[in-house]
Amino acid sequence: MAKLTKTSLFKAQGPNVETPVEKTSRIVRKMVEEEAENRQAKNDRLRNTRLEREANTPTKPSR
């Protein structure tokens, strides 16, 4: 059996290198998530405005 030493047993691992494809995927995923959050916030704001307007609008009496 080979003799185990600090250098042979515990090998230093270098930092994880991010490939260009991984970098692009990460950036695009972040952009898509931000766009979805912005879209949801806009929809919520418009929905609340519409509901408030409908609540404040008097209804026409039916004959």
Mean of the per-residue pLDDT values for the chain?
87
Burial class (CB in 10 A: 0-12, 13-18, 19+), 35: exposed
**C-alpha distances out from residue 40 to 6, 33, 34, 45, 54, Å:** 54, 11, 10, 9, 21
> Higher-confidence residue: 17 or 29?
29
Global pTM reads: 0.59
Alpha-helix runs per DSSP H in the chain: 6-9, 20-56
Confidence of residue 43 (pLDDT cuts 50, 70, 90): very high
In this model, does residue 45 exceed pLDDT 90?
A: yes
